């Protein structure tokens, strides 16, 4: 076949695949949609995979007693609507090997490990295709052919890394299900009975995701030009839509466990699967996880680039991986900035759902874990700033900004210190006595939300300022209003700082419900700095005079360690937050519906949890290093050509595909 015919064939195959994939979700949802009236009418009880026989017996017996046309109605624990009971009650478990099989090891820890590893890989493989989509699109729309090629190569590098990780995710998913089935059969049976109407959607989505990712990866070379390239990038959109729906379905399980809905007080399914999915915490969880995945994915790819940079033997390789690390870090940080706000929303919804759950998290039993979380968030922002300061070093003309680093450090550190000040202080009884009570007149004020909101917003605004300095590092604005623009930006940032700090202080003098709302103007101030100042800076720097080239590869090794630190902190924080989110249910499998009667239904000590999280982090990094290594095995050396470096331009890819 000639080249043209082959291309046509590929076009038809790709178009067919696209249409099929776009129609797939609708087709998959059909059975669910069609089954809804049946469910509402009382049919289709979700019994498959249900609780053990002896648990199901009383319910069956009850059902047998009332056999006949009579339908039993139940009241939704969350939506307070009435629905026809169509499921068995949540099993009442007991501490024995039938409900909780024993394997001479703490089952919860095994499950924790399996779950966390699956989540790490799942997050990574959901995030990376989003990067690829953005970068590939940038490559397509770039007018500079050389830059377009570089972006394309970068997107390809990203997807290559995620492909092996994708297989591992699937393997870990299988292990997770087996772990659940083996160690917590009653609980898993109940959950899968509740989610039965969408279980097949979940499975089919996974198949669709696999199919798309493989076509997307293996079709890269074949679909690199013209319409085919557009189809290729559209495929990444489909891939990400499927991935996001998949994640949202998975989130509905944990949302249900934390804040159940769609069931009555006994845990009986009431026939409305949308209620079961759309629980009080589902949407905040979705938003938080999408942003978190992106930031995490950026961090991991940046760490990969840093690792390759440190192992590089040539300037060309160093330049390429320096650039790759920078792009990955920029994407990661772009999603890190809104992450605390999404987290704040989630916590607000948790408080609104159950006060005691909120207090357990942030004021009670788990409060110290939140201090550790604040520390990790601080480390992330400090590392990002540090990396950008180091990156100023590879630009000529950026020296003028470096002298202000010490003041930036001071502002960041003060914000950080307030952000991590605990409300519940660890102290000896002697220190408690010397302090004259549980409340310290300084620390007590720093330890509450009003001050902490101020602290984190100051940190983020400073990060935005650092980023703007980086963007104008080697440039000198040539617009006629440059001086006015600089003054305006300076005043804008100063007003932003004053507003954030003032609102933080004002928060002590107003009712709590208003104080919670104060986070909105604080966030708006920070985001205004991010969007308006970045945009204004972009306009000011259009056609700017270049003071010197960006010398890719000529960056300190400390910057690369900062990237590795960034990724490790992301990983650790994800492990920590997963643990906090899960353990806030205390002794419930499903909050207030299904009690955890296993011998492990207690809250671990902070020390044990920290060790376990560290082990998970270590395991993930060891295995992901293996994935990175696998990625390098297939690399063929590109033929060495004499290249003339172009100042300020991103370096040529070091490898071919």
Phi, psi for 644 (deg, rounded to 5) = -100, 115
User: How crowded is the C-beta side of 518, counted as CA atoms within 13 Å?
Assistant: 24
What are the tokens at 228? 């085919």
* Torsion of Cα atoms, 591 then 592 then 598 then 601, to 10°: 60
Residue selected from 81, 98, 355, 478 as contacting another protein according to rule CB under 8 A: 355
Smaller CB separation from another protein, 169 or 390: 390
Cα separation of 361 and 374, whole Å?
13
Smaller CB separation from another protein, 413 or 638: 413
The CB-of-267 to another protein minimum distance in angstroms stands at 17
Residue 308 near residue 253, CB atoms below 8 Å: no
Render the burial of 237-268: b for 16+ CB within 10 Å, e for the rest: ebbbbbbbbbbbbbbbbbbbbbbbbbbbebbb
User: Which residues from 426-485 bind another protein, rule CB under 8 A?
Assistant: 426-448, 450-451
The CB-of-408 to another protein minimum distance in angstroms stands at 9
Smaller CB separation from another protein, 490 or 656: 490
Smaller CB separation from another protein, 505 or 524: 505
Residue selected from 183, 250, 420, 574 as contacting another protein according to rule CB under 8 A: 420
Smaller CB separation from another protein, 118 or 394: 394
Residue 533 near residue 361, CB atoms below 8 Å: no
**Four-residue CA torsion sign, 592, 594, 599, 605:** negative
130: nearest Cα among 20, 273, 354, 291: 291
Cα–Cα distances in Å, from 573 out to 77, 374, 540? 32, 9, 37
Smaller CB separation from another protein, 2 or 436: 436
Residue selected from 218, 230, 407, 531 as contacting another protein according to rule CB under 8 A: 407
User: Which residues from 291-330 bind another protein, rule CB under 8 A?
Assistant: none
Residue selected from 360, 384, 499, 568 as contacting another protein according to rule CB under 8 A: 360
The one segment of 83-91, 251-259, 359-367, 531-539 that binds another protein by CB under 8 A: 359-367
217 CB burial (10 A radius; 0-12, 13-18, 19+)? middle
Smaller CB separation from another protein, 29 or 359: 359
Helix or strand (DSSP H, E) at 82: strand 82-84
What are the tokens at 555? 């960056």
The one segment of 58-66, 135-143, 407-415, 636-644 that binds another protein by CB under 8 A: 407-415
235: nearest Cα among 24, 466, 489, 463: 24
Residue selected from 310, 334, 405, 655 as contacting another protein according to rule CB under 8 A: 405
The interface mask with another protein, positions 184-223, x = CB under 8 A, is ----------------------------------------
User: Which residues from 596-625 bind another protein, rule CB under 8 A?
Assistant: 603, 606
User: Which residues from 127-156 bind another protein, rule CB under 8 A?
Assistant: none
Rg of the chain (C-alpha set): 27
Smaller CB separation from another protein, 119 or 464: 464
Cα separation of 350 and 280, whole Å?
8
Smaller CB separation from another protein, 94 or 352: 352
The interface mask with another protein, positions 549-568, x = CB under 8 A, is -------x-x----------
- 505 near another protein (CB under 8 A): yes
Cα–Cα distances in Å, from 68 out to 62, 64, 65, 266, 483? 12, 9, 9, 22, 84
Smaller CB separation from another protein, 98 or 438: 438
21-28 contact pairs (CB < 8 A, 24+)? 21/208, 21/211, 21/212, 21/235, 21/238, 21/242, 22/238, 24/204, 24/208, 24/242, 25/205, 25/208, 25/241, 25/242, 25/245, 28/200, 28/201, 28/204, 28/205
Residue selected from 12, 30, 203, 417 as contacting another protein according to rule CB under 8 A: 417
The CB-of-445 to another protein minimum distance in angstroms stands at 4
CB neighbours (10 Å) of residue 410?
Answer: 11
CB neighbours (10 Å) of residue 636?
Answer: 8
Instruction: Map tokens 């919860």 to a residue.
Output: 108
User: Which residues from 36-55 bind another protein, rule CB under 8 A?
Assistant: none
The one segment of 81-89, 98-106, 346-354, 649-657 that binds another protein by CB under 8 A: 346-354
User: Which residues from 65-104 bind another protein, rule CB under 8 A?
Assistant: none
Residue selected from 178, 214, 218, 410 as contacting another protein according to rule CB under 8 A: 410
**∠ CA 82-284-26, rounded to 5°:** 70
The CB-of-615 to another protein minimum distance in angstroms stands at 23
The CB-of-363 to another protein minimum distance in angstroms stands at 4
User: Which residues from 509-548 bind another protein, rule CB under 8 A?
Assistant: 509-513
The CB-of-266 to another protein minimum distance in angstroms stands at 17
Listed in sequence order, the DSSP H helices in 219-314 are 226-258, 273-277, 282-311
Smaller CB separation from another protein, 336 or 398: 398
The one segment of 99-107, 408-416, 486-494, 612-620 that binds another protein by CB under 8 A: 408-416
232: nearest Cα among 101, 113, 355, 140: 140
Q: How many residues bind another protein (CB under 8 A)?
A: 77
Cα separation of 199 and 250, whole Å?
10
Smaller CB separation from another protein, 112 or 389: 389
Smaller CB separation from another protein, 359 or 479: 359
Smaller CB separation from another protein, 123 or 461: 461
User: Which residues from 574-593 bind another protein, rule CB under 8 A?
Assistant: 592
């Amino acid at each position: 076949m000639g080249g043209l015919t082959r291309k046509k064939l590929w076009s038809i195959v790709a178009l067919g695949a696209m249409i099929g994939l776009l129609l797939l979700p609708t087709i998959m949802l059909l059975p669910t949609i069609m089954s809804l009236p049946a469910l509402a009418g009382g049919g289709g009880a979700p019994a498959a995979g249900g609780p053990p026989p002896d648990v199901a017996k009383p319910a069956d017996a009850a059902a047998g007693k009332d056999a006949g046309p009579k339908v039993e109605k139940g009241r939704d624990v969350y939506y307070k609507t009435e629905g026809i009971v169509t499921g068995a009650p949540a099993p009442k478990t007991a501490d024995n090997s039938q409900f909780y099989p024993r394997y001479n090891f703490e089952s919860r820890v095994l499950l924790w490990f399996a779950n966390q590893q699956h989540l790490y890989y799942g997050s990574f493989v959901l995030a990376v295709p989003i990067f690829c989509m953005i970068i590939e699109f940038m490559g397509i729309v770039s007018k500079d052919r050389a830059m377009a090629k570089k972006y394309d190569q970068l997107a390809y590098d990203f997807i290559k890394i995620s492909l092996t990780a994708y297989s591992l995710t699937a393997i870990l998913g299988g292990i997770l299900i087996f772990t659940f089935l083996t160690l917590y059969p009653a609980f898993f049976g109940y959950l899968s009975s509740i989610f039965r109407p969408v279980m097949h959607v979940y499975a089919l989505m996974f198949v669709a995701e696999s199919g798309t990712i493989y076509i997307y990866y293996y079709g890269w070379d074949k679909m690199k030009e013209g319409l085919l390239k557009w189809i290729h990038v559209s495929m990444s959109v489909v891939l990400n839509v499927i991935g996001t729906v998949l994640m949202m379905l998975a989130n509905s399980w944990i949302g249900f466990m934390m804040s159940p809905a769609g069931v009555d007080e006994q845990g009986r399914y009431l026939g409305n699967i949308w209620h079961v999915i759309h629980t009080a915490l589902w949407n905040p969880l979705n938003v938080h996880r999408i942003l978190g995945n992106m930031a995490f994915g950026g961090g991991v790819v940046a760490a990969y680039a840093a690792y390759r940079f440190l192992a590089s033997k040539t300037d060309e390789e160093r330049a390429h991986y320096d650039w790759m690390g920078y792009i990955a870090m920029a994407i990661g940080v772009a999603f890190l900035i809104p992450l605390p706000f999404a987290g704040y929303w989630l916590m607000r919804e948790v408080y609104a759902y159950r006060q005691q759950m909120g207090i357990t998290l942030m004021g009670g039993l788990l409060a110290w874990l939140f201090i550790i979380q604040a520390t990790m968030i601080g480390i992330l922002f400090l590392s990002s700033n540090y990396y950008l300061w180091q990156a100023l070093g590879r630009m000529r003309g950026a020296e003028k900004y470096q002298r202000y680093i010490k003041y930036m450090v001071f502002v960041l550190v003060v914000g950080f210190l307030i952000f991590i000040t605990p409300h519940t202080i660890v102290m000896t009884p002697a220190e408690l006595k010397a302090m004259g009570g549980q409340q310290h007149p300084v620390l007590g004020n720093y330890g509450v939300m009003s001050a902490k909101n101020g602290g984190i917003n100051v940190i983020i605004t400073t990060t935005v300022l650092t980023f703007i300095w980086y963007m104008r590092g080697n440039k000198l604005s040539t617009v006629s209003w440059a001086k006015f623009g600089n003054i305006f930006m300076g005043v804008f940032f100063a007003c932003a700082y004053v507003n954030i700090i003032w609102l933080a202080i004002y928060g002590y003098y107003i009712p709590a419900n208003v104080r919670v709302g104060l986070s909105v103007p604080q966030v708006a101030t920070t985001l205004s700095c991010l969007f308006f100042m970045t945009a204004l800076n972009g306009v000011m720097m259009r056609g700017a005079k270049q003071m010197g080239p960006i010398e890719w590869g000529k960056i300190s090794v400390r910057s690369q360690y900062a990237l590795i630190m960034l990724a490790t902190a992301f990983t650790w924080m994800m492990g920590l937050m997963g643990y906090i989110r899960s353990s806030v249910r205390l002794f419930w499998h499903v909050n207030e519906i299904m009690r955890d009667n296993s011998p492990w239904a207690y809250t671990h000590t902070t020390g044990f949890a920290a060790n376990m999280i560290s082990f998970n982090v270590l395991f993930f990094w060891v295995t992901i290093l293996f994935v990175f290594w696998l990625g390098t095995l297939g690399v063929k050396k590109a033929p060495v050509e004499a290249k003339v470096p172009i100042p300020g331009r991103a370096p040529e890819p070091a490898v071919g595909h």
